[in-house]
Chains A and B, each alone.
Chain A
Amino acid sequence: MSSAHSSTRTYLAIWGWLAGLMLLGVVLAELPIPKLWIVLMVLALSSIKALLVALYYMHLKMDRRLLLFVAVAPLVLILLALSVVFSSHFIQL
């Protein structure tokens, strides 16, 4: 089996996972459970889908480690910035 056929099968499999996880999120949103749990679970599913796109469709999995660092570093900074912004809601000075 050529590597071209192999990558084609991988891309189709990832598409299947993306579609399946999206439908799972839609079903989870309809369940009679606390909304906070729904938000956390569906956003976790979205993060997994984004990771699949980045790793396989954007080829981050096959790229050099340096590129992985370039992609992840801004995410850490965004998390830090968001934690500062959201902390103002929970901490009253």
Chain B
Amino acid sequence: MLRLSHVQWPGSEGHLSVPVGTLNTFLLIGSSMTIVMALAAAQAQQPIASVRRWLVATVVLGSLFLGIKGFEYSTKLAHGIVPSTNVFWSCYYTLTGFHAVHVLGGIVFNLVVLGWTRQAMLWQGLRHRLELAGLYWHFVDIVWIFLFPLLYLF
């Protein structure tokens, strides 16, 4: 609606790097694959070390995503591009900021599940929560699948 109501949509005006956005998308869809692999390993009763490896990979990929997003933010802010610059940047900071908070929440959730895997007795009773962590993580991935083209490509 904001875009339709602006005859001259400001856009990023070249201040957003498509390769960097593409790399971040690649990392996030990769993390969706690693967490579903963790779940598959758990359901196949594979050694807990296998589940832990895939979970650690998910946390690392999610953290890299946030690191790159932080780098993007810092370069924009260094160039004086802030949420009040224009309506595009208001949308950019709001959408990506809330998304980043959800990614951070997902990383914390995954770390908590990773902690449960350290105790065999605890893990037996809580292993179904890995599926819940996965569902949340995939939801965050799906949101980014739409945010990436809307902000970086159009």
- Across the interface, B1 reaches (CB within 8 A) one of A11, A54, A89, namely A89
Q: CB distance B33 to A12 under 8 Å?
A: yes
Indicate with 1 or 0, residue by residue over A1-30, a CB within 8 angstroms of chain B CB atoms.
011100110011011001100110110010
Q: CB distance A57 to B153 under 8 Å?
A: no
CA distance A58 to B148 in the complex (A): 21
Chain A residue, CB-CB nearest to B29: A18
Q: CB distance A53 to B153 under 8 Å?
A: no
Q: Which residues of chain A are within 8 angstroms of B22 by Cβ–Cβ distance? A: 22-23, 26
CB contacts under 8 Å to A, within B126-154, are 134-135, 138, 141-142, 145-146, 148-149, 153-154
CB contacts under 8 Å to A, within B19-45, are 22, 25-26, 29-30, 32-33, 36-37, 40-41, 43-44
- Across the interface, B29 reaches (CB within 8 A) one of A12, A22, A25, A58, namely A22
Size range of the chain A interface in the assembly: 20 to 34
Q: CB distance A53 to B149 under 8 Å?
A: no
User: Does any Cβ of A come within 8 Å of B18's Cβ?
Assistant: yes
Q: CB distance B33 to A85 under 8 Å?
A: no
Question: Secondary structure at chain B's binding surface: helix, strand, loop or mixed?
Answer: helix
Q: CB distance B37 to A46 under 8 Å?
A: no
Q: Which residues of chain A are within 8 angstroms of B30 by Cβ–Cβ distance? A: 15
User: Does any Cβ of B come within 8 Å of A50's Cβ?
Assistant: yes
Q: CB distance B138 to A54 under 8 Å?
A: yes
Q: Which residues of chain B are within 8 angstroms of A39 by Cβ–Cβ distance? A: 154
Q: Which residues of chain A are within 8 angstroms of B43 by Cβ–Cβ distance? A: 4
- Across the interface, A57 reaches (CB within 8 A) one of B26, B41, B138, namely B138
Chain B min CB distance to A91 (Å): 13
Question: 11 other contacts beyond A57-B32, A85-B1, with CB at 8 A cut-off?
Answer: A4-B41, A15-B29, A15-B32, A22-B22, A38-B153, A42-B154, A50-B142, A53-B142, A56-B36, A57-B36, A89-B1
Q: Which residues of B contact A (CB under 8 A)?
A: 1, 4-5, 18, 22, 25-26, 29-30, 32-33, 36-37, 40-41, 43-44, 46, 134-135, 138, 141-142, 145-146, 148-149, 153-154
Closest 7 CB pairs of A and B: A4-B44, A29-B153, A15-B33, A18-B29, A57-B36, A42-B149, A50-B142
